[in-house]
Amino acid sequence: MPRFDGRGSAQLRPTKITRGFMPNAEGSCLIEMGNTKVICTASVEDKLPPFRKLEGELGWVTAEYGMLPRSTNVRTPREGRNGPSGRTVEIQRLIGRSLRAVVEMPVLEERTILIDCDVLQADGGTRCAAITGSFVALAEACRKLVDEGAITRMPLTGMVAAVSVGVVGSDELLDLCYEEDHRCAVDMNVVMTDKGRYVEIQGTAEMTPFDRNRLLRLLDLAQVGLEQLFKMQRAALEGIL
């Protein structure tokens, strides 16, 4: 069955990473994957969260995620008085964990890097785009710290990117857009390093539990997309990494 937007089943949406999009931030980019557009910024703060101090550890990376009200087709109310929604909490925890997996924290010393991912336009896959873009913002901020002599070397142990795969009808598809995500039987987000190792696999059977063969085919499909995303990150970070 042809895809909603004419793509092949193993094809990413047109993707573009614009580094330095938010000039006030220490690191930033705009990542566009089809109609999904996310602003990622990295802010350096010269302090650690209390729990990190308690553990006697140095360095921290954490993330926040938000959506502009009209990033969606029907207006999404701002989060507020009741705190971030369950979905938002899950996403920001995932972004933070994914980035920390490639950061040698102690190199950052008494510093936290706070990532903000703000969705300008949402068409499925915002959490994966946010991870992929955040790595670019993070790397830019780290380079700035090195250049200023604030830290002694780049704290990155590798690159990290993420992509969604899923099952719609009986088709296994790469990089689901909203329409596909909405109707899929299985939804999986794969976060991987550029060495091909998994940082996080979150597979959910929205309707139909899946077997191991399907799992393996979906992981293969994800890898196809992830390798292209690493290339784009490298291009965006030329002279930085």
- Contact residue for a copy of itself among 47, 53, 89, 104 (CB under 8 A): 89
By C-beta, is 197 or 231 nearer to a copy of itself? Answer: 197
Q: Is 19 annotated as a binding residue?
A: no
Shortest Cβ 9–a copy of itself spacing (Å): 21
- What string of DSSP letters covers 41-101? EEEEESS--HHHHHTT---EEEEEEEE-GGGSSSPPPPPBTTBS-HHHHHHHHHHHHHHHT
Tokens of 168: 């719609």
By C-beta, is 8 or 148 nearer to a copy of itself? Answer: 148
Q: Which range in 4-12, 80-88, 168-176, 230-238 contacts a copy of itself by CB under 8 A? A: 80-88
238 binds a copy of itself (CB under 8 A): no
Q: Is 81 annotated as a binding residue?
A: no
Q: Which range in 87-95, 144-152, 175-183, 227-235 contacts a copy of itself by CB under 8 A? A: 87-95
Evaluated on CA atoms 227, 34, 127, 218, the torsion sign reads: negative
Number of residues that bind a copy of itself (CB under 8 A): 58
By C-beta, is 152 or 157 nearer to a copy of itself? Answer: 157
Distances (CA, A) of 124 to 33, 97, 147, 195, 206: 9, 21, 36, 26, 15
Q: Is 87 annotated as a binding residue?
A: yes
- What string of DSSP letters covers 154-192? --BSS-EEEEEEEEETTEEEES--HHHHHH-SEEEEEEE
- Which residue type is seen at 57? E
Backbone angles phi, psi at 94, to 5 degrees: -65, -45
Which residues contact a copy of itself (rule: CB under 8 A)?
22-25, 28, 39, 41, 43, 45, 64, 66, 68-73, 75, 78-84, 86, 89-90, 92-93, 97, 101, 114, 116, 118, 120-121, 192-193, 195-205, 207, 209-212, 215-216, 219
